[in-house]
Structure 1
Amino acid sequence: MKNSQLNQRLLGLSRPAKRAVVLGVDIVLALLATWAAYSLREESLHWPQGHQWWVYLSGPLMAVPIFVRMGLYRAIFRYTGLDALVTTALAVGLYAVIHLVFLQWLLWPVFPVTLGVLQPILFLLLIGISRATARFWLAGVGFGRGFEQGRMLIYGAGTVGVQTASALGIAGGLKPYGFIDEDPGKIGQTINGLPVFSPAMLSEVVQKYDITDVLLAIPNVSRGQRNQIIHTLRTLHVHTRTLPALSDLASGKVSVQDVHELDLDDLLGRDAVVLQADLLTSCIESKTVLVTGAGGSIGSELCRQILQQHPRQLLLLEHSEFALYTLHRELDGWCKDTDAKTQLVPLLATVVDRRRLDWICTTYRPHTVYHAAAYKHVPMVECNPSQGLINNVFGTLNMAQAAAAVGASRFVLVSTDKAVRPTNLMGASKRMAELVLQALASEPGNQSTCFSMVRFGNVLGSSGSVVPLFREQLANGGPITVTHPEVTRYFMSIPEAVQLVLQAAVMAQGGEVFVLEMGHSVKILDLAYRLVELSGLQVRNEQQPDGDIDISFIGLRPGEKLYEELLIGDNPMSTAHPRIMKALESFMPWPALQTQLGMLMQAALAEDEAGIRVVLHCCVQGFHDQPDA
């Protein structure tokens, strides 16, 4: 039988069967230690005679009860660490004392004392070897497999780095070869047998040991230092990975499951936007909060962050049963773990069903509504214009009117930079949704509800965003597809976007469009290069014909722009937060917009794409159908 098959068969045994196997091995080792002790003392191969049989039998009879009492058979051997080995040594030490005293009492004066000392020493040695063998073999780090493993350096020799090295040693697959650390007191030393090198030696160590992976175990380092380290690693063509932030390692223990690909902020190479948590509570704490599109990437993160502000009720509105089930289970688990008192209410609904929305709002009377439900994929809406417009425009109208009818205090629309001078139907539909809220905010009868919109760029990590697509293409060996060599986008992470939405709700007075100051836009081609290089690979091009991954330019998709904008006008105003701007952009009064909405609905119901575009050209400033050349 192959080693892997035997390994799986042993791991598949029941817990009592595994303990029986280990107990049997220990009995054999106790007998073997006694035989070896006699043979060494007599300097010849031994065969027991007479009273010596009592010495052989006494070993297992005394060792097994002591081992059971000290919990040695409750250990999981493939995860055996230093604590377990210390416990084993203590158990054998206790056994040695009791065994020696017993044999001296039973067999004195014919029992040799040297045998009572030598046998436990040999027994401890055999037990230690058996436990170490079980750990490495059952954990899948079998002998002779080292050359098949990835070779990893751990950047950071602190507590997190050392724990990670231990976890990797148990799990296998990646073999730690050493640490990189800036602490002069650690450089040149060894930690658990692994050398510590200075950052200046990084390139030399990577080449000398043929390092394939570098793990960033520096969760508390500044963003500037982190970016500098990542920039250096890009040139070494090693697969760079990372560990979570310190807040995610609060337990003080690290497992191999914590190792993951670089964070999205690392790929962007810029500082994350730091937002003010003290602005997040006034619309949420002890209130009923409704999130539409709760199962989506933005909606689910909204729910997670809202839950941390302790609302009285959190209403999860979602049309996908599976997405709603998954989110509710996750949030319910979080509430139980943290003893949160928030009542979670999963609501299956679509925002185009006004009757259902009215019932929900009348029943639960939400104080704040975060409207994230939308069809957001540009090509998909281009292929399904009527459904895209009905969902994005009239779904927003339905939800806004239902919330206003019960006196909701605030209504916040999650919008997009594609709403600015849109070249596609998705962007135009989101601008129409903004126009709906701006018009409603201006109506005297809606003053009890504060309507606002939050507009931001591409959200990294969301479904359909570019980085997950690039990673999937990279895992498949390429090519990575980029629409155009000059295409640029603004980027932000999902947590950043959600915090902006939450804070905008607090600062809104009615009808504003809020925009995050996102710094410089990012060229998609540069992002693709960075991702390839930090995966330990090279882009194949004219300069590097022997590279690993091709980048293919597929052309702009219908309705896609080379670049995105965040404001229609040129009059952004500052807010209480230095990274958030607001604009009071032009809009149509409600009576005029209501007429256009009627025409839009008729065209959508008739699947009249030309009629849809006529209305959009009339209402949406800067809307044009052809992408930039």
Structure 2
Amino acid sequence: MDYRRRVVLLSLIDIGIIAIAINLAYLLRFDFQVNSKIFVFIPYVILMHLSIILIAFKRAKLYKRVWQYASVGELIAIIKAVTTSEIIFFIFHYIVQKFNPEFLVPRSIYLLSWTLIILGIGGSRFAWRIFRDNYLKIQPYHKRALIVGAGDAGALIAKELKHTADSEFYPVAFIDDDPTKQSLEVMGLPIVGNRKDISLVVKEYNIDEIIIAMPSAPKSEVAEIINICKSTTANIKILPRVSDLVNGKVSINTIREVNVEDLLGREPVKIDLRGIADYVKGQIVLVTGAGGSIGSELCRQIAPFDPKQLLLLGHGENSIYEIELELRKDYPDLRIETVIADIQDRNRLRYVFDTYKPNVVFHAAAHKHVPLMERNPSEAVKNNIFGTKNVVDCAHEYGASHFVMISTDKAVNPTSVMGTTKRIAEMIVQDKNQISETKFVTVRFGNVLGSRGSVIPIFKQQIKQGGPVTVTHPEMVRYFMTIPEAVQLVIQAGAFAQGGEIFILDMGKPVKIADLARDLIRLSGFEPDKDIEIFYTGIRPGEKLYEEILTDEEGTKATKHDRIFIGKQLTISRDDFHFMLRKLEKLVYNDDYPADNDEIKGLLKQIVPSYKYDNQKNISTDESKHTETFNLAGELAKQEMKLAKIELASAKGE
């Protein structure tokens, strides 16, 4: 029913109720024997009441209220409107009676009319709610819902679910950990236990859906409840956090599926807005790899800090075009420049830096697919090592104030070409910092949920196709972060930069990939190993079971942010490092003699001795000499490892 028809219908109902109420007031006042002299004034009393009350109801917006949710607030609004109307009528009639004393309205009529009108109109509104509560109960098409959390949000969700006829859910019970609420009722629904009882309640009440309505609860607590719910056959849904709800409003439209991010159980990242604004606001900011999952999120989160200009540099035109459209729509006043360029093209990069002269550089461009880079090591070297070197050299040459490179935990004691090339890229950044005014830093973190190349999109696609979900090894473990929190910490780390640091992000607890696969299957409404099979393929070349965030030589110290630590800087011989880089460059860029994969990997191992590669070929005596000299710094650093571990324990308050 549209608004106009609804107002007309309610007005007609109110007119009838007011007319009946006033007639009944006169009948009660005169014991159902109304004198004819009094009776002739009843139409006047009715007409005046109708005029005044209908105007009062409209001004009080009583016709805009949804009466299927009528409560004490609606009753108070009716009482106020009727009381005001009676006072106005009393004043008006007092004036009229001054000029015409024969217009008699007994004073008791005011009180009786007030009472009967409130009872009539209030009763009509609540009658509709009572009808819906008692006759529009659970239907065969409804899914039986258990609400976890009997607080304000849970009560509002239960109320809306009960009164929304086309909702697919109908609430049947509450779960709440508060012992004082046990065995009580909220919105006519029983509170049947705490979180430990969820499994039993799901079976006893034949629950189809579990709705977690705890928007203000810590993420760790929500993650714990989700883990309990996973053991049941019910689907799991959740309300967003309070910060995600608009103006505190809760409705069934805000109920969403549980995401893998909810399972991590980490609190949102808190960032120092002032510190970030100091080095980003009013600056020309360049983001390489701006079309990628990390690079594009960097652009989204840098844009609100009002940079003077944001340069989006990428090799793929489609991805750059997409992020450009998004940013121009969300930030129409922001100066954006898109640059299609390959970081391996040194001359093109020099032109970009010479033209725009960026002050802050976020370097996110990289080849990161481990198996692909294992089969194509020369491309990993060209892009991750020498592409990074090109960007680093340009940032130094053109006087950028900050340079922040995105690295990976796969760079620690690497077993892959990709990880090794990122480790050498970290060394390039630290090496350049020794001679530059630019603050060169690296930020190292693990896998990012939902990024290109991560397992989540692959698993979702496999589940969509009916399985099997492929996992390399049942014991494989990885650290995970969400894209937004990783990028926020990257930007925050840049504000702490003094130069040369490797910032290490707190990734929380590592997650088993097999458990992650099972969670995704359950969250998709299937039973692992029953509806969707999990198939173990074996560890791929370059992979390892456990990722690390520190090398043996590195210790950490704390920063002002409880989620960011600094890896200890290592002293390396610049001459030997540059010598090895030149050898590597000649090897991969030799057009006359294409490099053999094993040759490349062997030379990578000489630069990064912790790289676990067993097929190293013999090298010349001259090269061995340089390699031994280059490795000396690493050996010396190992002697400081015990001290570094003590610093780490101290930084964490252990």
Q: Same fold (TM over 0.5)?
A: yes
1:528 aligns with 2:517: yes
Question: What is the aligned partner in structure 2 of residue 206 from structure 1?
Answer: 202
Q: Is the 1:294–1:324 contact (alpha carbons within 8 Å) kept by the matching residues of 2?
A: no
Task: Rate the CA distance shift 1:314–1:183 in 2: closer, same or farther, 3 A.
Answer: farther
1:153 aligns with 2:146: yes
Q: 1:374 is matched with which residue: 354, 366, 372? A: 366
Q: 1:297 is matched with which residue: 269, 293, 306? A: 293
Partner SS for 2:394: helix
Question: What is the aligned partner in structure 2 of residue 181 from structure 1?
Answer: 176
2: CA distance, partners of 1:81 / 1:120: 14
Q: 2:570 is matched with which residue: 584, 591, 597? A: 584
What is the total number of aligned residue pairs between the two structures? 575
CA deviations 1:522-562 (Å, max 9, x no partner) are: 3211222344456675323xxxxxx4x32331625864624
Structure 2: 5+ residue runs without aligned partners? 28-38, 315-319, 616-654
1:460 aligns with 2:449: yes
Question: What is the aligned partner in structure 2 of residue 321 from structure 1?
Answer: 321
1:406 aligns with 2:398: yes
Q: 1:575 is matched with which residue: 557, 560, 568? A: 557
Q: How does 1:165-564 map to 2 (within 5 A)?
A: 165-166=158-159, 168=161, 172-199=167-194, 201-219=197-215, 221=217, 225-226=221-222, 228-248=224-244, 251-262=247-258, 264=260, 266-268=262-264, 281=276, 284=279, 286=281, 288=283, 289-303=285-299, 313=308, 315-319=310-314, 320-327=320-327, 329-330=329-330, 332=331, 344-352=334-342, 357-358=349-350, 361-362=353-354, 365-378=357-370, 391-420=383-412, 426-427=418-419, 429-431=421-423, 433-434=425-426, 436-438=428-430, 440-441=432-433, 444=435, 447-471=436-460, 479-502=468-491, 504-505=493-494, 513-516=502-505, 518=507, 521-533=510-522, 538-540=527-529, 547=530, 549-553=531-535, 555=537, 559=541, 561-564=543-546
Q: Is the 2:260–2:519 contact (alpha carbons within 8 Å) kept by the matching residues of 1?
A: no
Task: Rate the CA distance shift 1:23–1:258 in 2: closer, same or farther, 3 A.
Answer: closer
Q: Is the 2:402–2:439 contact (alpha carbons within 8 Å) kept by the matching residues of 1?
A: yes
Q: 2:585 is matched with which residue: 597, 600, 607? A: 597
Q: Is the 1:285–1:311 contact (alpha carbons within 8 Å) kept by the matching residues of 2?
A: yes
1: CA distance, partners of 2:311 / 2:192: 51
Q: Give how far 1:571 is off.
A: 1.5
1:30 aligns with 2:14: yes
Q: Is the 1:428–1:623 contact (alpha carbons within 8 Å) kept by the matching residues of 2?
A: no
Structure 1: 5+ residue runs without aligned partners? 1-9, 11-17, 43-48, 334-342, 541-546
2: CA distance, partners of 1:609 / 1:91: 89
Q: Give how far 1:110 is off.
A: 10
Q: Give how far 1:413 is off.
A: 1.2
Q: Give how far 1:38 is off.
A: 9.5
2: CA distance, partners of 1:467 / 1:61: 65
2: CA distance, partners of 1:92 / 1:297: 60
2: CA distance, partners of 1:251 / 1:532: 34
Task: Rate the CA distance shift 1:84–1:573 in 2: closer, same or farther, 3 A.
Answer: same
Q: Is the 1:515–1:582 contact (alpha carbons within 8 Å) kept by the matching residues of 2?
A: no
Question: What is the aligned partner in structure 1 of residue 633 from structure 2?
Answer: none
Larger Rg belongs to: 2
Letter in 2 for 1:22: R
2: CA distance, partners of 1:569 / 1:615: 22
Q: 1:68 is matched with which residue: 58, 63, 86? A: 58
CA deviations 1:223-245 (Å, max 9, x no partner) are: 66555434433333333344444
Question: What is the aligned partner in structure 1 of residue 621 from structure 2?
Answer: none
Letter in 1 for 2:321: E
Letter in 2 for 1:348: T
Partner SS for 1:550: coil
**More contact order relative to length (CA 8 Å, sep ≥ 6):** 1
Letter in 2 for 1:23: V
Task: Rate the CA distance shift 1:504–1:76 in 2: closer, same or farther, 3 A.
Answer: same
Partner SS for 1:299: helix
Q: How does 1:95-110 map to 2 (within 5 A)?
A: none
Which segment is superposed worse, 178-187 or 51-60? 51-60
Q: How does 1:71-86 map to 2 (within 5 A)?
A: 71-74=61-64, 83=73, 86=76
Task: Rate the CA distance shift 1:468–1:38 in 2: closer, same or farther, 3 A.
Answer: farther
Partner SS for 1:589: helix
2: CA distance, partners of 1:77 / 1:504: 53
Question: What is the aligned partner in structure 2 of residue 126 from structure 1?
Answer: 124
CA deviations 1:308-359 (Å, max 9, x no partner) are: 7x565462525412123324544x39xxxxxxxxx84322123416566545
Q: Is the 2:378–2:595 contact (alpha carbons within 8 Å) kept by the matching residues of 1?
A: no
Q: Is the 1:295–1:327 contact (alpha carbons within 8 Å) kept by the matching residues of 2?
A: no
Q: Is the 1:351–1:391 contact (alpha carbons within 8 Å) kept by the matching residues of 2?
A: no
2: CA distance, partners of 1:318 / 1:72: 57
Q: Give how far 1:579 is off.
A: 4.9
Partner SS for 1:152: strand
Q: Give how far 1:148 is off.
A: 2.7
Question: What is the aligned partner in structure 1 of residue 604 from structure 2?
Answer: 619
Task: Rate the CA distance shift 1:346–1:617 in 2: closer, same or farther, 3 A.
Answer: farther
CA deviations 1:70-94 (Å, max 9, x no partner) are: 2345557788886566535544555
Q: Root-mean-square deviation (CA), in Å?
A: 5.0
Task: Rate the CA distance shift 1:327–1:425 in 2: closer, same or farther, 3 A.
Answer: farther
Q: Is the 2:412–2:551 contact (alpha carbons within 8 Å) kept by the matching residues of 1?
A: no
Aligned identity (percent) is 35
Q: Is the 2:402–2:438 contact (alpha carbons within 8 Å) kept by the matching residues of 1?
A: yes
Q: Give how far 1:386 is off.
A: 7.8
Letter in 1 for 2:604: C
1: CA distance, partners of 2:373 / 2:414: 13
Letter in 2 for 1:561: E
CA deviations 1:39-64 (Å, max 9, x no partner) are: 9999xxxxxx9998888877765554
Task: Rate the CA distance shift 1:392–1:58 in 2: closer, same or farther, 3 A.
Answer: farther
Partner SS for 1:373: coil
Partner SS for 1:122: helix
Q: Is the 1:179–1:197 contact (alpha carbons within 8 Å) kept by the matching residues of 2?
A: yes
1: CA distance, partners of 2:397 / 2:68: 62
Q: Give how far 1:207 is off.
A: 3.0
2: CA distance, partners of 1:448 / 1:460: 35
